[in-house]
Amino acid sequence: MGRAKYTPAMDRLGPLIATVAASDASGVPALAMTARAAGADRVEIRTDCLGPGENASTLLPLAETVPLLLSGHRDRLRSEEISLLRSAQDHGAWVDVPFAEDLPEDLHGLDRSRLVLSWHSFEGTPGDLPRVLARMRSRPAAAYKLVPTARDFPDALAVLSLLEREGRGDLCAFSMGAPGVPVRALALAWGSCATYAVAPGCEAAAPGQMAIEEFLVTYRPLDIRKEDPLYVLAGWPLTYTKTPSFFNPWLDRLQLPGRYLPFPCTDPRDLLESGLPLRGVAVTIPHKEAPLRLTSRASRLARLSGACNTLVPDGLGWIAANTDVYGIRRALRGVPSGARCLLLGGGGAAAAAALALRERGPVGVSCRDEANAQAFARRFGLEAVPWPSRESTPW
């Protein structure tokens, strides 16, 4: 069969690829067209997700109207996939082949100009990513895709560092997992030739992969520049948060540069010392108390509560502030003065609540850990209420 009719989109891999992982081949064309309409530059069809008896070759003519990327199993290339990938290239599609040391030099006769060599690690992020990339580049391909799993913030930073050093137009790199979400958003700005999202109507094909609509509307990855300021949410595990969907539209409406991104991290020091262009950090559980030990200055309320939810750089370090107190005061404006209030929990957010509540009337605190409740009560001048008694005591 002859080559598909040329379109400019066939020359480049990305920048935005939407993955279709469907079990029924008959529904794939409609999903692919919807993905293109949603903003995808190319549509990836995961043939390994097709159900038993489904014939992937029936989808190949779709490549003549939709820029396609055909991929199969992530761990290794199966012999039965080779002829399918060759036929896909004959129709004008790009193909994805998992990298292995025993791949033949001719890469089974596949056209390197529309070939992605990919490497995935579902266990974590190894410390030798540059070496892995060097081994991959020993085989001719148009693009090299490295996708490790980020277990924590340093893993995510390692991928951004790899892009910064090795991005030459042929490298596609980002991270899987919740800590990898910001890397998916920043990948293009840091030198990746593509980033991936989920096609409409499909389930995520990898941990941390976002729906294309959410990805484009909330993060606008195609418009981010490497030098843009970052406003981030630091916490753990941060498996899901809606905060970026609130703040990024505000930045856009105010025509302010930068993005608000979630950065899951077990140690906020790693984030604050990362060298990223951080303009501000919102802090959530379990890190509301630890940053006070890392900052050069703190507001009065941050010192009184012993907790912070906001960090702002001042040129010399970080300033810690606590805006939770203001939020709680505002939320309780309709509560009569003198009302007896019971506070459940004794962490950083509870400390801010204690400052706001004790201005209004009697306050008790109840924690699952009785010792924690007693210590918290002494610290803020409250009444400690045993956890089993929290519902039987009138508040």
Distance from C-alpha of 188 to C-alpha of 118, rounded to nearest angstrom: 17
Residues of the chain by 3-state class (helix, strand, coil), percent to 5: 35, 20, 45
Q: Of the listed 5, 145, 242, 288, which one is catalytic? A: 288
Distances (CA, A) of 217 to 6, 13, 220, 331, 353: 30, 22, 6, 30, 34
Alpha-carbon gap, residue 29 to 37, rounded angstroms = 12
- Biggest alpha carbon distance in the chain? 83
Spell out the residues 6+ positions from residue 114 whose beta carbon is closer than 8 angstroms to its own. 10, 89, 92, 93, 94, 95, 142
Rounded CA-CA distance 98/269 in Å is 36
Q: What is the sign, positive or negative, of the torsion defined by CA atoms of 156, 73, 26, 94? A: positive
Q: Are 15 and 185 in contact (CB under 8 A)?
A: no
Q: Contact at 8 Å (CB) between 122 and 99?
A: no
Asked about 288 being catalytic, the answer comes back as: yes
Find all residues with CB under 8 Å of 365, minimum gap 6, and list them.
342, 343, 344, 345, 346, 350, 354, 373, 376, 377, 380, 382, 383, 384, 385
Would you please indicate which residues are annotated as catalytic (active-site) residues? 288
